[in-house]
Structure 1
């Protein structure tokens, strides 16, 4: 009986607020965002792929292309991941999705999301929902196909309303693990957090401009 878990990294966004670049290839602290995400996922799952449209560069994992060329959002990426698993990895019963622009993902994300038995289990932190960081039952593929093909309301939250769901809460301190990078300012905040190290002890001079730390969940060190 299928019972394995696969992880699909959603990397189909256009990165408009970052200048129209492919987010997965954006550099953060000397590594691409996709490398940061893969590092956080190391040891959490044996099967990992990237769902993207036109992602270039040498990647150490399989790249899945969405079924629709007109970019129909995260649900299209989820569907592509479920279909890929059903064809190439029939032993997989659930697919965990994460966004490529979340470089601080929890190291126990897959284990905790798949500990629940709902159709969809999504992450929360700091009172916020993160519907693209979720575990999806592969049996949802056909329902997803209908939703994506209709190209109506492609909201992940709206799709979730028609199925059994559960939330899995993660601590939002000292860094919110689902902080995502949408703008150059977000990128600067992430650079600051990495420079401070895992314990968030500043390794930069005390008079360094630290305004980017606001809003990332970093402690107030003034």
Structure 2
């Protein structure tokens, strides 16, 4: 990793875009949430499509963080990795694994853009606005906030947060927002009416999968 002060602004060329699909899906009865169908398409495919369509340009580096059915995720055509520490130890384990993969990517990368697998209507300027926020502040991570609700797993992180995240996990702590706040996260607002009310809605149960987005 280059020194943080010398790191360029985040862009498709230096950012690994990752769909987080490693959860237990407890509120869906323990199914693999990313593979569940929403409007005839797997949730993970929706998230991948949103990453590819981001307004900052064509995504050049994409991966999937998953902890089961790895072969099914790999069939989508992107690298797939599991948490280093098994046992569904919370989303920060997926964040850490993604940062580690970005750090050892075949080309030098500086950032990781994360999106959840259960948020199919993310804004197409998510990456651009998070990148702009990092470029304008000393922060090393930026995350979405919409209508006063935070969405910490829709975020852009510098690889330089890895040591702090490692220490946080080693201490036994697991809360995503607590760690982000300690790192000085820059929140970026995506409020209505400029953005759809459902832009960051998580589909957490089977009833949500049957629903249609509002017009």
* Native 8 Å contact 1:86 1:138 kept in 2: yes
2-side partners of 1:99 and 1:174: how far apart? 17
Unaligned runs of 5+ in 2: 9-13
Match of 1:216 in 2: none
Give the Cα separation in 1 of the matches to 2:32 and 2:191. 29
- Secondary structure of 1:171 counterpart: coil
Q: Residue in 1 aligned with 2:201?
A: 179
Instruction: Check 1:54–1:46 CA distance in 2 against 1; reply closer, same or farther (3 A cut).
Output: same
In structure 1, the partner of 2:30 is 20
Q: Is the Cα contact below 8 Å between 1:126 and 1:176 reproduced in 2?
A: no
Cα RMSD (Å) = 1.7
Counterpart position of 1:211 = none
Does the 8 Å CA contact 1:113/1:122 hold for their aligned counterparts? yes
**Structure 2 residue 160 is matched with structure 1 residue 168:** no
Specify the alignment match of 2:149 in structure 1. Answer: 128
Structure 1 runs of 4+ with >4 Å offset: none
Is 1:31 the counterpart of 2:41 in the alignment? Answer: yes
Larger Rg: 1
Where do 1:1-222 residues align within 5 Å?
A: 3=8, 4-44=14-54, 45-56=59-70, 57=72, 58-89=75-106, 91-117=108-134, 118-150=139-171, 152-172=172-192, 173-189=195-211, 192-193=212-213, 200=215
Q: What is the Cα deviation at residue 90 of structure 1? A: 5.0
Contact 1:125 1:176 in 2 (8 A): no
**Structure 1: any 5+ residue segments left out of the alignment?**
201-222
Give the alignment's TM-score, normalised by structure 1: 0.81
- SS of the equivalent of 2:47 reads helix
TM-score, normalising length: structure 2 = 0.83
Q: Which has the higher contact order (CA 8 A, sep 6+)?
A: 2
Number of corresponding residues: 192
Determine the C-alpha separation between the residues in 2 that align with 1:55 and 1:158: 30
